[in-house]
Structure 1
């Protein structure tokens, strides 16, 4: 039996929930999951836009749409692709310019919490 380590913070717990949910969905709907994964992998491939730029765009859309799992996932994606905290905060600032108070509330809470949690996990 595989031992699963306890998440160290809320961000890690949310990422684990998403991963487990995606695994269950993939078992139940393998063809659909395969096509979705192939599509998103193609969308996030390095191209004219870098993977970092694509993650910053995805984070902005996630904040605008109030999708907490995607906010966490794409904040991690930004960090994994080398985005600085300043770049992330600037991107979500642009999002707040379009999304108003709802986007700003996610930006000043969940995104900043994720950055802190994810940086602690790297140590």
Structure 2
């Protein structure tokens, strides 16, 4: 069984996710392939931009308390050119539905990710 180190940074969490996905893909290649095709189709540019889709996914991730997805989609938002203000507005809408649990993820993990991932770009 694969051992994953405790997450201590956004970059480490993204690495763990990619490593886990690689192992899953080796064991379940057809399922992984179909899942990847499906998600690529869902996130491609359409009537909604890729940035808008990443912001939606971030809100859903926060609401569902999925730390790996929060990190992944915060990065996706930044990669698609979302500003910190756009991300924080997404946080606000999510908190309107998810209350304190959503807000606690946002004021900690999302803001840490924005800071860390922006530093990695420099």
In the other structure, the counterpart of 2:84 is 85
The runs of at least 4 consecutive aligned structure 1 residues that moved more than 4 Å come to none
Which runs of 5 or more structure 2 residues have no equivalent in the other structure? 1-7
The aligned length equals: 115
1:43-82 alignment runs, 5 A limit: 43-82=42-81
Q: C-alpha separation between the residues in 1 aligned to 2:101 and 2:88?
A: 15
In the other structure, the counterpart of 2:4 is none
Which deviations, in whole Å up to 9, do the C-alpha atoms of 1:5-41 show, x marking residues without a partner?
xxxx601000000000000000000000000000000
Query: What TM-score, normalized by structure 2, do the two folds share?
Result: 0.93
Which runs of 5 or more structure 1 residues have no equivalent in the other structure? 1-8
Measured on the aligned residues, the alpha-carbon RMSD in Å equals 0.6
Q: C-alpha separation between the residues in 2 aligned to 1:109 and 1:103?
A: 10
Q: C-alpha separation between the residues in 1 aligned to 2:28 and 2:62?
A: 28
* SS at structure 1 position matched to 2:81: coil
Query: What TM-score, normalized by structure 1, do the two folds share?
Result: 0.92
1:1-123 alignment runs, 5 A limit: 10-123=9-122
